[in-house]
Structure 1
Amino acid sequence: MTLLEILAQYMTKWPAGFGRVIQDDSGAVLACAGFGARYPFLQLPVIATDRATAVVAEPKWKAQRAQAQQKGPA
């Protein structure tokens, strides 16, 4: 699963004041604000297949989450 798909499933609220979210190699999700400012806020049980390059912004997360909620549980 991609980071966007995973976040749509596990993250219920976007971290206020942060423009993007990434995942490190341990599964920690980091909220990013500006250059170099990274704040861990969520530990996921799964590592995204695109973790090394994925950067998720709030509008994409909202759209993916809405789509996932329309489909219902897997």
Structure 2
Amino acid sequence: MAKEKLGLKSSLGLSPKVEIKKSEIDVEQTEKAVKEIHSKKPEVHRLTIDLPMDLYKAMKIKILGESSVRDHIIKLVSDDLKK
């Protein structure tokens, strides 16, 4: 009623309804695609360690700009296992 009194009724009209396209999802195909995507990533194990702050700072200074702490530790472990 207030819209009609103020002359706003035509300016607040809704757009026409649009039919939503319905599609069926192939669950098996979707699962296959998900497995394929995730199978390309190597399996990892998360490891958490506590380092003394002075040791951590010295390591960060040594590898500054060369690599991340993660990459540096992986390299150290790999080199140690090759011995």
- State the TM-score, normalizing by the size of structure 1: 0.28
- State the TM-score, normalizing by the size of structure 2: 0.25
Q: Larger Cα Rg: Structure 1 or Structure 2?
A: 2
Q: Which has the higher helix share?
A: 2
Q: Which has the higher strand share?
A: 1
